[in-house]
């Protein structure tokens, strides 16, 4: 898969590559390895929430 199609899949919320990461204070969370979108309790939100089809207006700010 080409890099451009991978980012398109993330931007349209069709596919993410979830991985575990840790916050500076040690808490564990899931995020996409490609676009860094965070997943919490089955709902995607984070750095680009609201910018994709399924992102809606839930969670973080789009900056």
CA dihedral for 35, 36, 40, 46, sign (positive or negative) = negative
Give the confidence band of 1 by pLDDT, cuts at 50, 70, 90. Answer: low
Helix, strand, coil percentages in the chain from 3-state DSSP, rounded to 5:
15, 25, 60
- The answer to the question of residue 53 being in a domain is no
**pTM score, two decimals?**
0.51
pLDDT of residue 42: 54
pLDDT of residue 60: 47
Q: Tens of pLDDT along 16-60?
A: 999 999 999 999 999 999 999 998 765 544 444 444 444 444 444
pLDDT of residue 13: 86
- The answer to the question of residue 21 being in a domain is yes
Residue 23 structural domain: 3-45
What total number of domains does the chain contain?
1
- The answer to the question of residue 63 being in a domain is no
- Distances in Å between the alpha carbon of 10 and those of 17, 21, 28, 33, 36? 9, 18, 21, 10, 9
- The answer to the question of residue 51 being in a domain is no
Count other Cβ atoms within 10 Å, centred on residue 16. Answer: 20
């Amino acid at each position: 898969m080409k890099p451009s199609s991978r980012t398109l899949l993330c931007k349209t919320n069709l596919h993410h590559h979830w991985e575990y990461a840790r916050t500076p204070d040690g808490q564990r969370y899931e995020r996409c390895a490609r676009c860094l979108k965070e997943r919490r309790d089955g709902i995607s939100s984070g750095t680009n929430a609201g910018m994709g089809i399924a992102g809606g207006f839930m969670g973080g700010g789009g900056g």
